[in-house]
Structure formats: C-alpha cells, structure tokens
Copies of this chain bind each other. A is one copy, B any other.
C-alpha cells in the first residue's frame, strides 16, 4: 500500500470505467504492472466491488429523509430485531445503531409521501418496540456517496 496504490484507489473511486491503459498512464506505470496492482487490491479485499452509481434525479426515489428512532426496549435482541425489519425495506438506504438518546438512525429514499406513510405504518406501529421517532426531510444534499435501488 504505497503512494501509487492510494492514487489508484482514489482514482477508481471517482471513475472505475476507465481502461487499464488509461489509468496506467495517469499513475505512471505500464498497463501490465498497473493491472496487477488492481488485481492485488481486489484479491486483498481493499477494493470490495465495482458498482454503477445512478443519478438520483433521474431515478424514481427522489425524496430523502433521515429518521432518528428511540426504542422502548434496548436489549441486544430488540435492537437486532428492529434493524432486521428496517433493513428489509427497499426505501431504507442506510441503517445505523448509534450512541446517545437516539438508538437507530435510518436514511430513506422515497418515491412519494404515500410510501413514507406506509413505511411508518410498518416500522413504527405499536408492536414494533418504537418509543419515538423524529423525521428530518432532506432539503439539500451537499455531499454524498450513495447508490439508488429502483
């Protein structure tokens, strides 16, 4: 993991569609040597995978919202159960267990408010162990690195 590896990783996180020849030239290596480095980064697991990032404005889930959730019961198994339910939802793009007054934070990608309504109904009805939740609609995205599922 030297200077060239870092250059490769930063470069490929920006654009992994470039040809090996092109990338090799930018980092100052021969194509074969460059390719072997990329293969090594794959095998070692530093590069987890190569994915397509979709344009959110052209996708179908344009509304983003953050929800902080406070659970009634805080045991490990209760936390696990709630996260499992949340993660299974298509509209949930990120889900975290956190410290502080809040127990769980969810990032949502929504088609419309009907979907939001239905999601709340499923996640926050009485039997689901949720004490309170606070919704923050996202007005502006200043920075992000997120995939969108259709």
**Given contacts A94-B143, A96-B140, A51 and B54 within 8 Å (CB-CB):** no
In whole angstroms, what is the CA distance A81 to B41 when docked?
38
Whether A52 pairs with B147 at a CB distance below 8 angstroms is no
A105 CB, min distance to chain B CBs, angstroms: 6
**Given contacts A12-B51, A15-B50, A47-B52, A147 and B145 within 8 Å (CB-CB):** yes
Which stretch of A28-36, A85-93, A124-132 is in the interface? A85-93
Interface membership of A77, Cβ < 8 A = no
A contact set with B: CB distance below 8 Å: 6, 9-10, 12-17, 44-55, 58-59, 64, 66, 79, 83-84, 86-87, 92-100, 102, 105, 134-150
Beyond A15-B49, A66-B98, 7 additional contacts (C-beta under 8 Å) are A10-B149, A16-B50, A49-B53, A86-B142, A95-B143, A97-B139, A100-B136
